[in-house]
Structure 1
Amino acid sequence: MTLLRLPAQTKLHWRGESNRRRRRIVRDIAQADIAHLAVVRTGRDGERAERSRRKCLERLLHELGRRGVQTVVLESRGRADDMRDVSMVDALRAQRRVSARVRVAQAVGRNEPLLWVADAACGAISSALIGADEFRTLLGDRIAVFDISP
């Protein structure tokens, strides 16, 4: 992933890339032996983005735990948000909605190139939701999408 970074970039970020670069990034990701899981939620009118994020994270952690994943690294969103995420994961564990074996850590995006893969996969899914299916198609059957919209 670091080889795909342009000289002035500290990290790859889907929103900042041209469609030509997006194609290249997704093609490279599709060639790697990586399975992707994405959780999509189209919230209700007035639903806060943080609630949608939490619902998606709950399902994602559940699905990853079912597949035997033991460590999940989230992109850090700052100290306060990171602490909220940890509290939420602890509550989900206590409710047995997420496996106790799943550990969650946070990393600064520019320091963890594997987070760039997740960003690109999510970008491909988001693009498909608004009618630009090209990037999603490039990922083929390497990506499973769970729609948890109400």
Structure 2
Amino acid sequence: MSARTLCGHVDESMSDTRRDPGAYILAAAICDTTAQDEIRAEMEVLRLKGQNKLHWHDEDHKRRQVIIERVAQLPLMHLVVVRDQMPDARAERRRRLCMQRLLFELDQLEVATVTFESRGPADDRRDIDMVGAMRAEQTITSQLRIEHQKGPLDPLLWVPDAVCGALTADRVGDSTYFAEITAHTQLITL
């Protein structure tokens, strides 16, 4: 059994509900564990005075361009899963379907640890329970671990937020941002 040296940081987004209804996006930024501190430092530099964390939705076009250009230069791969064929399904259902596929793919890539942005104790517990169920079904191995972290505490979580934002813009007609990271991104649509 080889040592797993990759980690993933995950964030999610619902796409533009008016122009891209029903789409749910789950993105993972994947890097070698030895690169985490460098990436965190690079992302931290982008936080403006008074900002709790970088959040794509709160940024203007100029800032978004700066953020996505920085993301494109980092030693990262991106794995993005989109569920867009269930406009009437609850967001949590779409998230779970995306999460199942994302975790399967991350395990296949031999990622060791996946860090999700915390959504609170009850939602985090549901994620942990789902991982347990996937292990019991042997959909993923026990070598893949998940953890949760508050977004402001880990600048690496700002990366998948930007990837989700860039993909949302692309899905509604503005490919400017997503074009910057396409070469390093695997996109799976369910």
Which bin holds the TM-score, normalised by the shorter protein?
over 0.9
Q: Contact (CA 8 Å) 1:73, 1:104: kept in 2 or not?
A: yes
Give the TM-score, by structure 1 length.
Answer: 0.95
- Look up the match of 2:70: 28
Q: How does 1:1-150 map onto structure 2 within 5 Å?
A: 1-148=43-190
Q: How far, CA to CA, are the matches of 1:130 and 1:43 in structure 2? A: 16
Instruction: Classify 1:33/1:45 alpha carbon distance in 2 versus 1 (closer, same or farther; 3 Å).
Output: closer
Cα deviation code 1:44-73 (max 9, x no counterpart): 232000011011111111111111101000
Q: How far, CA to CA, are the matches of 2:66 and 2:52 in structure 1? A: 18
CA-atom RMSD, angstroms? 0.9
Secondary structure of the equivalent of 1:105? strand
Matching residue's letter, 1:91: A
Q: Calculate percent identity across the aligned residue pairs.
A: 42
Point out where structure 1 has 5 or more consecutive residues left out of the alignment. none
Larger % of helix: which? 1
Larger % of strand: which? 2
Note the C-alpha offset of 1:43: 3.8
Note the C-alpha offset of 1:99: 2.1
Give the TM-score, by structure 2 length.
Answer: 0.76
**Number of residue pairs matched?**
148
Off by >4 Å, runs of 4+ in structure 1: none
Q: Contact (CA 8 Å) 1:75, 1:115: kept in 2 or not?
A: yes
Q: How far, CA to CA, are the matches of 1:10 and 1:45 in structure 2? A: 32
Note the C-alpha offset of 1:83: 0.6
